[in-house]
Amino acid sequence: MTDADTTLPIAEATPDDLEGILKLQYLCYQIEAERYDFWTIPALTQSLASLAEDLRTKPVLVARMGDEVVGSVRGERTGDDFHIGRLVVHPRVQRRGLGRRLLREIEARAGDVRRFESYTGYRSTEFLAVFSGGGYRPFREEKVSDRLRLTYLEKVRPA
Ligand SMILES: CC(C)(COP(=O)(O)OP(=O)(O)OC[C@H]1O[C@@H](n2cnc3c(N)ncnc32)[C@H](O)[C@@H]1OP(=O)(O)O)[C@@H](O)C(=O)NCCC(=O)NCCS
């Protein structure tokens, strides 16, 4: 992999991306697991079959550099809400605006929902910064373990 420019194309994931997404997810969530000493984060234990099911049922986006998946995000509509999850960018290409672009692109696939929601660990500065920049605000916290609290974020579309 060589250094990327800031305009890597973002596309719908295909079955050929499954292993790449899982690999990237695994790499990126190591930091989260270490941060909270919580090694059973769903992103780290997800199977290929479960990810394939996500691909069949939800919008899943990837940014590729050559053949390699270097960014991904997915969404899921539930009624009037759109849940955004697994936003990951390879450390090699972080801080170049790709996370922000992936967030915008997945929101664009939400349809006519009223509200967007996501969550992350309460000390996950990078994630909180990207979502805050996208207009999200924290609205709830949930304790998972002594070291991990989740911060839930939302953005409500004006009526
Ligand atoms: C969160 C993540 C997807 C951000 O991706 P990214 O492509 O680096 O983000 P962007 O370059 O679009 O950053 C957008 C803005 O977010 C903020 N930001 C991003 N990373 C930051 C960091 N490490 N520290 C402080 N602010 C940060 C900045 O305001 C940045 O704008 P700027 O670069 O102009 O200052 C990436 O850091 C990642 O994959 N992390 C590991 C996985 C993870 O933590 N997932 C969430 C757990 S639920």
pLDDT digits 0-9 by tens, 8-41: 999 999 999 999 999 999 999 998 999 999 898 8
Using the mean position of ligand 1's atoms as its centre, give its distance from the Cα of residue 129 in Å.
6
pLDDT band at 1 (very low <50, low <70, confident <90, very high): very low
Using the mean position of ligand 1's atoms as its centre, give its distance from the Cα of residue 89 in Å.
8
In a domain, 4, yes or no: no
pLDDT on residue 159: 79
Q: How many domains does the chain have?
A: 1
In a domain, 98, yes or no: yes
- Residue 116's domain comprises 10-156
Alpha carbons 142 and 149: distance in angstroms, whole number: 5
Share of the chain above pLDDT 70, in %: 96
pLDDT on residue 6: 62
Angle between the 125-133 and 98-107 helix axes, to the nearest 10 degrees?
A: 50
Alpha carbons 83 and 67: distance in angstroms, whole number: 28
Q: List Cα–Cα distances, 84 to 5, 45, 103, 110, 146, in angstroms.
A: 25, 19, 8, 10, 25
Question: Is 24 close to ligand 1, i.e. is its CB under 6 Å away?
Answer: no
pLDDT on residue 88: 97
Average pLDDT over residues 95-101: 96
* Helix residue ranges per DSSP H, the chain: 18-36, 42-45, 48-57, 98-107, 125-133
In a domain, 78, yes or no: yes
pLDDT on residue 91: 95
Is 59's pLDDT higher than 80? yes
pLDDT digits 0-9 by tens, 117-153: 999 999 999 999 999 999 999 999 999 988 899 999 9
In a domain, 3, yes or no: no
Q: List Cα–Cα distances, 146 to 15, 48, 111, 151, in angstroms.
A: 38, 30, 38, 15
| CATH code of residue 104 | 3.40.630.30
Question: Is 120 close to ligand 1, i.e. is its CB under 6 Å away?
Answer: yes
- Tokens standing for residue 45: 């234990």
In a domain, 2, yes or no: no
Closest ligand 1 atom to Cα of 100: 12
Q: How far is CA 96 from the centre of its chain?
A: 16
Is 104's pLDDT higher than 50? yes
In a domain, 5, yes or no: no
Is 72's pLDDT higher than 60? yes
In a domain, 48, yes or no: yes
In a domain, 49, yes or no: yes
